[in-house]
Chains A and B, each alone.
Chain A
Amino acid sequence: MGNKKNHLDAIKTNEKFRFIGTRPIRPDGVDKVTGRANFGADFSANGMIHGRVVRSPYAHAKIKSINIEKALKMKGVKAVITGQDFPKIDPSDKVVGEVTVSFYDMSQNVIARDKVFYDGHAVAAVAATSTKIAEEAAALIEVEYEVLPAVMTVIEAMKKNAPVLHKGMKTEGLESGPKRSSNIATRTEFRLGDPAEAFKDAEVIVERDYTTQTVHQGYIEPHACVAEISADGMATIWSSSQGQFMVRALVAKLCAMNTSKIKVIPSEIGGGFGGKTLVYLEPLALLLSQQSGRPVKMVMTREEVLRATGPTSGGHARAKIGAKKDGTLVAAELEMEYEAGAFAGSPVKLGCMTGFSPYNLEHVSCIGWDVVVNRPKAAAYRAPGAPVAAFAVESAMDELAEKLDIDPLELRIKNAAVEGTRAVYGVKFPKIGCLETLREAQATEHYQIPLGPNQGRGVASGFWFNIGGQSSASVIVNPDGTVIVATGNPDIGGSRASMALMAAEVLGIDYKNIKPLVADTESVPFSDLTGGSRVTFATGKAVVEAAEDAVNDMKRRAAKVWDVDIDQVEWKDGIATCIETDIHKPMTIAEIAAMAGKTGGAISGKANINAKGAGAAFATHICDVEVDPETGYVQVLRYTAVQDVGTAIHPSYVEGQMQGGAVQGIGWALNEEYVYNEEGLLQNTGFLDYRVPVASDMPMIDTVIVEVPNPGHPYGVRGVGEVPIVPPLAAVANAVSHAIGIRMADLPMSPPKIVATIDAAS
């Protein structure tokens, strides 16, 4: 059952560093294995009441009236709100920053105004003394709907006479100005050279259509928060999210409040993957708290999570690649239509930018269509936009390799992007590790294992930009010389351990003497949210600079004590030494800290940065499957993920990101999809029928860490969290295609679909 390699032995502690590259126990770990850690739903406030949301039972409808009288009268009910209770937001009000949706749309998504746009769209909310009473009251809220025809797929939505979701929506990016309202928000295009012309030089061309379905991030923890607002207008929100500052900013805007009046305390977060980079419950809970005068707790059920929080886009892609017989690529085209969900803003542009990035292409074009449909508003999901694009491109590359009779990794190596390669979006790559991951993949034991009957092997590559962004850090030296490292980024995957390792490296003190923590919005300066594979890079950089700042402060104190110039002081392994004379005994961090009061006051360092120099990540995955031709069941036999991580700060958590992303991608390829009925109502609203991978579905996921350090980070870090989900869709599809001898271009490759494909072919 898979070949388990123990990479604990293969990866030595990086010889350049003392702490970086080791695998200590994460500082927050004991709380998590004993059940003491507090996640979103684990918090309670005195006098707390409970909120429930009333949701649309229709995919598309006008709201004619809402009658809340009966609900308000019910004993135990303390507040009822609808869209009318929220401030009006101008349609042109756009969000700046990481969330690419307009405030106007977001405010409508949080609670409907005149129309509902998907099954589960929030229409009203109730707060009562118990969840039971809140639910009973919710059932008493009378909403009169005028049901409209639902548009459920991009194909339906793009048709000329399709019912239009948003009257004012006119397609941006068409060659001639659009005349009528449409469900197409944007047409985007990226181009290098002249592919149409260049295809004439191709000796072999592959061209195919691909389809994928809507899938959810699938975090095990449903959205949850407690919001409280006192009579003087001071609000406190306890919430599970990927960014407490993001929650504060969005709530402030949606509720028309001053950010200084809102304190957001981040709870531990039970998974996000991009799905918790925005708000759903917090504005509702806050207004309910305002109306009732009590703290309000709101927790989503799994059904609500699936019906009403952002999945990622399903869609269509057409990939065309032309090459010479020797495998040199000459031209490539990609055109994709992505579901934006109820409001504009799918990640189709990012899909266009990433699809061909692993390759050196002079002539390439990518066209993307952002299309609204009556499904929940799409939200970010780990490398948003990239997996579907890679599914098409990497499947096409596989088909090309087969046609040319060239090994699929060899074909990729021959055309790999390198330093200086220009991506389709125009930018030239700096130092990258694409080729290295391909070569390492080729060299794995896995790749040499022979296959048996009904078995197939698939390979695929992938790319993600990784971002920098604003991060703030405080490094506080306690009187006993131990250290606190405070940052503003929720820890989704073990980042606290990495922060402590980087601080330990700079300070030269034992990792065990460092306490990393995630501070609330009043205790650390602004930080962009956790996502985009940015925390180990950008927040790590801030921690390094803050630690250096603290070291400089301590050198200054030592200089003061010794009465020498600061340039006479050296810092190494947590000790200050005076370089010139032997008169002065070295001082440890503990000794300096003990004298802090005498030398000027408490010792701390800070850094508030907008991190530049993020390094892109490339990955190559290998997947072996065995398909039962009678049942269509796919067993994943072996899986290897190879990835350039720059420098692995904590190798176990780096491997964890690679394994977790790969398995999400496998689920996306094999089983996961939203199933809607004819009326546009979601049928699989639970984990039984929204089928994510379980332990018995998977083999061990082998990992190979490649390190091509990123010159933009003091320790060479590249973001690692997102690229692992980019290759698996094609890696699995290519494997299945080889196992059954028929190209699979339609995800998910569930058993009935595979059986139907095999039957149709024979």
Chain B
Amino acid sequence: MARVNLPVEVARSYCHGERNHDIAASDIRAIVKTLELQFPGIGERLNRGLAVAIDGEIFQEWLLQEVEVNSEVYFLPAIEGG
């Protein structure tokens, strides 16, 4: 089970504030699909302006990134550079 953590503002809008979700999946796309089934509309929101950290490494492009059995997955604001 991947431990998935959502940003507070997304959790409040779509998941009644629940930020932590345990999801069985092999990549982030599957995680988003699972969340969308539970919380309709969240898929579109997650595709907007977010990066994903998987076990400590931050990905700006994350759709097909693979996830391990016990991975920690954090949805984060996309990191803008200057």
Please give the residue numbers on chain A whose beta carbons come within 8 Å of chain B beta carbons, in ascending order.
Answer: 94, 96-100, 172-175, 177, 186-191, 217, 273-275, 277, 347, 349-350, 353, 380-384, 425-430, 465, 467-470, 531-534, 610, 612-614, 722
Contact = CB atoms under 8 A, between A and B. Distances in A.
Interface residues of B, number: 26
A100 B8 contact: no
Given A353-B76, A429-B56, A277 B12 contact: no
A264 to B, nearest CB: 19
Given A94-B48, A426-B5, A347 B80 contact: yes
B81 A531 contact: yes
A467 B51 CA distance: 11
Contacts of A189: 8-9
Q: What is the predominant secondary structure among interface residues of chain A facing chain B? A: loop
A380 B82 contact: yes
Nearest to B61: A610
Given A174-B12, A188-B8, A426-B53, A532 B78 contact: no
Contacts, number: 102
Interface of B: 5, 7-9, 12-13, 17, 47-49, 53, 56-61, 72, 74, 76-82
B72 A426 contact: yes
B82 A381 contact: yes
Given A172-B13, A173-B9, A174-B12, A427 B58 contact: yes
Contact of A427 (B13, B17, B53): B53
A384 B9 contact: no
Contacts of A349: 77
Contacts of B72: 426-428
A407 B13 CA distance: 45
B9 A186 contact: yes
B39 to A, nearest CB: 15
B60 A273 contact: no
A42 B12 CA distance: 51
Given A98-B60, A98-B81, 19 more contacts: A94-B48, A97-B60, A98-B78, A100-B78, A177-B13, A186-B9, A274-B81, A350-B77, A350-B79, A380-B80, A381-B82, A382-B82, A426-B74, A429-B56, A467-B79, A469-B60, A531-B82, A532-B81, A610-B61
A468 to B, nearest CB: 7
Contact of B49 (A100, A467, A610, A612): A100
The residue in B8, B61, B76, B81 that gathers the most chain A C-beta atoms within 10 A of its C-beta is B81
B15 to A, nearest CB: 13
Contacts of B56: 427-430
Given A98-B60, A610-B61, A532 B13 contact: no
Nearest to B45: A172
22 contacts: A96-B47, A98-B60, A100-B77, A173-B9, A175-B17, A188-B9, A188-B77, A189-B9, A274-B81, A275-B82, A277-B81, A349-B77, A350-B79, A380-B81, A382-B82, A383-B82, A426-B74, A427-B53, A430-B56, A465-B79, A467-B81, A614-B58
A737 B18 CA distance: 43
B32 to A, nearest CB: 14
A613 B57 contact: yes
Contact of B82 (A175, A273, A614): A273
Contacts of A99: 80
A426 B74 CA distance: 7
Nearest to B48: A94
A98 B80 contact: yes
Contacts of A94: 48-49
B57 to A, nearest CB: 6
A383 B12 CA distance: 28
A469 B79 CA distance: 11
Contacts of B9: 172-173, 186-189
A614 to B, nearest CB: 7
A612 B57 contact: yes
Nearest to A348: B77
B81 A427 contact: no
Contacts of A96: 47-48
The 4 A-B residue pairs whose C-beta atoms are closest, nearest first, are: A532-B81, A274-B82, A173-B9, A349-B77
Contact of A173 (B5, B12, B53): B12
The residue in B5, B47, B78, B82 that gathers the most chain A C-beta atoms within 10 A of its C-beta is B82
B57 A188 contact: no
A177 B12 CA distance: 8
Contacts of A532: 79-82
Contacts of B74: 425-427
A267 to B, nearest CB: 20
Contacts of B76: 353, 425-427
A526 to B, nearest CB: 12
B59 A612 contact: yes
A612 B78 CA distance: 15
A173 B8 CA distance: 7
Nearest to A379: B82
A274 B81 CA distance: 7
A581 B53 CA distance: 50
Contacts of B7: 188
A728 B48 CA distance: 33
Nearest to A426: B74
A190 B10 CA distance: 12
A182 B79 CA distance: 25
B10 to A, nearest CB: 8
A175 B82 CA distance: 32
Contacts of A430: 56-57
Nearest to B9: A173
Given A426-B53, A429-B56, A469-B60, A277 B82 contact: yes
A534 B49 CA distance: 19
Contacts of A382: 82
B27 to A, nearest CB: 15
Contacts of B79: 350, 465, 467, 532
A492 B81 CA distance: 14
Contacts of A100: 49, 77-78, 80
A59 B5 CA distance: 40
Contacts of B80: 98-100, 274, 277, 347, 350, 380, 384, 532
Contact of B81 (A187, A610, A722): A722
Nearest to A469: B60
B81 A533 contact: yes
Nearest to B8: A189
A383 B80 CA distance: 8
A275 B80 CA distance: 12
B28 to A, nearest CB: 14
A186 to B, nearest CB: 6
B12 A175 contact: yes
Contacts of B61: 470, 610
A396 B33 CA distance: 43
A717 to B, nearest CB: 15
The residue in A273, A427, A531 that gathers the most chain B C-beta atoms within 10 A of its C-beta is A427
B30 to A, nearest CB: 20
B48 A465 contact: no
A448 B46 CA distance: 51
Contacts of A426: 5, 53, 72, 74, 76
Contact of A465 (B5, B8, B12, B58): B58
Contacts of B60: 97-98, 467-469
Nearest to A217: B82
